[in-house]
Amino acid sequence: MTARTALITGITGQDGSYLAELLVAKGYTVHGIVRRASTFTTGRIEHLYQDPHDADTRLFLHYGDLTDASRVAGLLERVQPDEVYNLAAQSHVRVSFDEPLFTADTTALGTTRLLEGIRTTGLPCRFYQASSSEMFGASPPPQHERTEFHPRSPYGVAKVYAYWITRNYREAYGLYAVNGILFNHESPRRGPTFVTRKVAMAAARIKAGLQDTLYLGNLEARRDWGYAAEYVDAMWRMLQQDEPDDYVVATGTSYSVQDFVEHCFAHVGLDWRDHVRFDERYLRPAEVDDLVGDASKAARVLGWQPTVLTPELAGLMTDAELRQLLGSDGAAVPAVPAPAHTLAPR
């Protein structure tokens, strides 16, 4: 056990919640930055939350936004973290085509605001940047740490900027700053408009008789899908090395969107062809066709290995949705709200 302090941006997101769990379990005091909204956005970390008045509280939340440089610097000064994990981003690729400037401000410049805050306050902390396989874009697989970047979306471009500013602060100022280049990782906590969660939710809802049709875009794109709960461990390992470096984190396997759909529907005894329909609104102006990561460096240096591969992931995500829908006696619970993607077409 350790008495270290971590600051997590994006703590309310999928990865932020798993990372907060991991660090609290390791004995860290964890501080998270939360955007102010008119409703609570802390659902994914509710189980970790303790009254800040309790003497043994080790999770603290602070309002803040990566677009606000003075707030970011002020929080760094106040929290005095040993480790900073920058997970905050406008992380949806399709949305980044609609909101390229907001995506750049948060996902690219937000990283510089944090790094500048660390540099100007002189904090001796370690910095993790959530880089993405989307940076490889059109470069053919398998992709590894030396593969050329060819991003295909404003999101991918913003992540390339964030990758290089992280390396630049390492080279220019000697900061301990690393890039984790993570391939797609999913879980029951995945946002409902990403394809895996959207499919798992629909398969369960169709099985429960609450929905009949699922509209999707490109079924041919291939992704290297791993399990988010395992990937946050790789983030932590990167900050425990003697020297800062960059690492690809992936399973090394590739499946198409159609494969994922088939797995989820077959898992609940359905034929996907009876329910899935095409809708062009889910296509992107430019697509990333084929991502397969080579994570041999992470295995060799960090001792990190994935254990959950895509077929198992599809099963566990679909099971989680079914558990949400079905009562303990197996009866369908009728008052389940419609999934977000039916409200906001994304």
Report if residue 184 touches ligand F7E, rule: CB under 6 A: yes
Footprint of ligand F7E on 68-127 (CB under 6 A): 91, 93-94
Q: Cα dihedral angle (219, 223, 226, 227), rounded to 10 degrees?
A: -40
87 binds ligand NAP (CB under 6 A): yes
Among 31, 113, 223, 267, binds ligand F7E (CB under 6 A): 223
Q: Which does 15 bind (CB under 5 to 8 A by kind): ligand NAP, ligand F7E, none?
A: ligand NAP
Which residue of 44, 126, 198, 263 would you call a contact of ligand F7E, by CB under 6 A?
A: 198
- Picked from ligand NAP, ligand F7E, none, the partner binding residue 216 (CB below 5 to 8 A depending on kind) is ligand F7E
Alpha carbon distance 136, 134 (integer Å) = 5
* 14 Rama sector, left if φ>0, alpha if ψ -120 to 50, beta otherwise: alpha
Size of residue set near ligand NAP by CB under 6 A: 26
65 or 134: whose CB is closer to ligand F7E?
A: 134
Q: Which residues pair with 332 in a beta bridge?
A: 326
DSSP strand pairing (255-256 vs 222-223) = antiparallel
Binder of residue 41, out of ligand NAP, ligand F7E, none (CB less than 5 to 8 A by kind): ligand NAP
Cα 32 to Cα 23: distance, rounded to the nearest angstrom: 12
Is 191 a binding residue for ligand NAP by CB under 6 A? The answer is: yes
Residue 14 interacts, among ligand F7E, ligand NAP, none and using kind-specific CB cut-offs from 5 to 8 Å, with: ligand NAP
Site for ligand NAP in 163-182 (CB under 6 A): 182
Element (H, E) at 222: strand 222-223
Q: Under the criterion CB under 6 A, does residue 211 sit at the interface with ligand NAP?
A: no
Its sign, for the CA torsion 82, 44, 288, 101, is negative
| In contact, 195 and 283? CB cutoff 8 Å | no
Output the residue with the shortest Cβ distance to ligand NAP. 13
Of 166 and 184, nearer to ligand F7E (C-beta) is: 184
Tell me which of 75, 76, 130, 308 binds ligand NAP, using CB under 6 A: 130
Nearest to 187 by CA among 318, 281, 332: 318
C-alpha distances in Å from residue 242, one per residue of 126, 185, 233, 302, 317: 11, 27, 17, 11, 36
Name the site residues for ligand F7E (rule: CB under 6 A): 91, 93-94, 132-134, 183-184, 193-195, 198, 216-218, 221, 223, 257, 282, 284, 287
